[in-house]
């Protein structure tokens, strides 16, 4: 009898894995791929855990590791995010975008506070219902965030050694007329790519901001020439002010030159998957590769990408959150 649940969980895991693989091979730049990737991992993990049922000591080890990981995530992660938020506020300036990790840490602590309050205070009933709604929505957001994080890592590694006939470097702002470290990491990644594909064109994309002394494209071109890239291999796109425009204007320039080869875009690792999703929505045939980012910058930056993707798919995510929030109340009324 024990084999039946294990076989059933194995079939579910296999179905999820096959759905993910088909979707990934057809089009890796889809938001839903991240969700199916996470579902496939969860179901496969449950199936493997069932297989370990006959090996008691090994099952105990796995469960202990999962418990330790869960406790570390619950107790350490919120405070780590709060600390990171303070660091971002001090190093990167007093902007709302730099407060995301701080706000996420405080939100996690608030959710834990709600859960503890419900456990300690059983009445009134509406409080328990509201708490369950909050926990379900929080669990959904945590699941989607984790799925995007894991899939972003996978997608970045798939195209890591890709070859192409042109590469687009997305701008990210200047310090006066100087290339800051974040943008320099993108340009360094483009130089590594160009050395592997010396006949490729390098498109530098970025207009001139109000506080900048020259266009991003001009400063980026100077940086590449100093790094050894021939000026003849560099194409300047100096009008774009958003990622959308970076991609559209750069592709338009390449098409004006009669270019029909394969194209890659370079951005920072935290920005890779959202750029790929945007390229797909714009109907552009290009993949994206990532450059390294300062470790303290990654949590806040990835949270910003997560929020942007939630907004981009706001109807789906709003519907899911609404169902999860209203579900406990509906069940309580029916009960």
67-85 pLDDT tens trace: 787 777 777 778 888 888 8
In the chain, where the domains are located: 1-74, 76-158+297-335, 162-293
DSSP three-state, residue 262: coil
Beta bridge partner(s), residue 178: 175
- DSSP count for the chain of H helices, then E strands: 12, 5
Specify the pLDDT at position 5: 75
Specify the pLDDT at position 315: 92
Using the predicted structure, report yes or no on whether residue 220 has a pLDDT greater than 80.
yes
CATH superfamily, domain 162-293, is HUPs (3.40.50.620)
Mean pLDDT along residues 90-102: 77
Confidence at 1, pLDDT banded by 50, 70, 90: very low
Q: What is the mean pLDDT of the chain?
A: 86
Residue/partner pairs of 146-149 with CB below 8 Å, 24 or more apart: 146/38, 147/34, 147/35, 147/37, 147/38, 148/34, 148/273, 148/305, 148/306, 148/309, 149/302
Sort 42 into a burial class: Cβ within 10 Å, 0-12 / 13-18 / 19+: middle
Sort 76 into a burial class: Cβ within 10 Å, 0-12 / 13-18 / 19+: exposed
CA separation for the pair 112, 135 (Å, rounded): 9
Specify the pLDDT at position 10: 87
pLDDT digits (tens, 9 = 90+) for 102-151: 888 888 888 888 777 777 775 677 777 888 888 899 889 989 999 998 99
Quote the percentage of the chain above a pLDDT of 70.
Answer: 95
Mean pLDDT along residues 247-262: 91
The interaxial angle of helices 298-312 and 100-120, nearest 10 deg, is: 80
CB of 180 within 8 A of CB of 173?
Answer: yes
DSSP three-state, residue 229: coil
Sort 245 into a burial class: Cβ within 10 Å, 0-12 / 13-18 / 19+: middle
Backbone region of residue 147 per phi and psi (left: phi > 0; alpha: psi in -120 to 50; beta: other values) = alpha
Backbone region of residue 176 per phi and psi (left: phi > 0; alpha: psi in -120 to 50; beta: other values) = left
CA separation for the pair 28, 287 (Å, rounded): 9
CA separation for the pair 264, 274 (Å, rounded): 14
pLDDT digits (tens, 9 = 90+) for 191-206: 999 999 889 999 999 9
CA separation for the pair 284, 303 (Å, rounded): 25
pLDDT digits (tens, 9 = 90+) for 5-18: 778 888 999 999 99
CA separation for the pair 83, 63 (Å, rounded): 30
Mean pLDDT along residues 277-290: 91
Residues contacting residue 213 through CB under 8 Å, at least 6 positions apart: 174, 176, 177
Q: What are the tokens at 46?
A: 């449950």
Specify the pLDDT at position 35: 94
CB of 217 within 8 A of CB of 206?
Answer: yes
DSSP three-state, residue 123: coil
pTM for the model stands at: 0.83
Specify the pLDDT at position 54: 65
Confidence at 335, pLDDT banded by 50, 70, 90: low
Residues contacting residue 19 through CB under 8 Å, at least 6 positions apart: 36, 40
Specify the pLDDT at position 23: 95
């Amino acid at each position: 009898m024990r084999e039946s649940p294990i076989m059933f969980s194995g079939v579910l895991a296999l179905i999820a894995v096959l759905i993910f693989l088909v979707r990934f091979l057809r089009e890796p730049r889809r938001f839903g791929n991240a969700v199916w990737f996470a579902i496939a991992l969860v179901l496969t993990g449950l199936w493997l855990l069932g297989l370990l049922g006959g090996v008691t000591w090994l099952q105990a080890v796995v469960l202990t590791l999962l418990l330790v990981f869960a406790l570390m995530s619950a107790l350490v992660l919120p405070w780590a995010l709060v600390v990171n938020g303070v660091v971002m506020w001090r190093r990167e300036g007093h902007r709302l975008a730099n407060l995301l990790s701080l706000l996420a840490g405080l939100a996690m602590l608030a959710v834990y506070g709600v859960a503890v309050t419900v456990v300690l205070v059983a009445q009134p009933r509406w409080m328990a219902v509201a708490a369950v709604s909050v926990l379900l929505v929080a669990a959904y957001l945590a699941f989607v965030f984790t799925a995007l994080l894991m899939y972003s890592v996978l997608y970045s590694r798939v195209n890591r050694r890709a070859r192409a006939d042109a590469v687009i470097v997305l701008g990210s702002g200047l310090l006066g007329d100087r290339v800051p470290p974040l943008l320099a990491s993108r340009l360094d990644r483009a130089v590594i790519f160009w050395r592997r594909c010396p006949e490729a064109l390098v498109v530098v994309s970025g207009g001139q901001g109000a506080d900048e002394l020259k266009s991003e494209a001009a400063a980026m071109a100077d940086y590449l020439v100093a790094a050894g890239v021939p000026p003849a291999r560099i194409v300047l796109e100096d009008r774009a002010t958003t990622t959308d425009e970076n991609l559209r204007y750069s592709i338009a320039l390449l098409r004006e030159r009669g270019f029909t080869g394969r194209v890659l875009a370079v951005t920072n690792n935290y920005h890779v998957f959202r750029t790929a999703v945007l390229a797909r929505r714009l109907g552009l045939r290009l993949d994206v590769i990532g450059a390294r980012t300062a470790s303290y910058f990654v949590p806040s930056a990835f949270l910003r990408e997560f929020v942007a993707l939630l907004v981009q798919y706001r109807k789906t995510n709003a519907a899911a959150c609404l169902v999860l929030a209203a579900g406990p109340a509906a069940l309580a009324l029916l009960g």
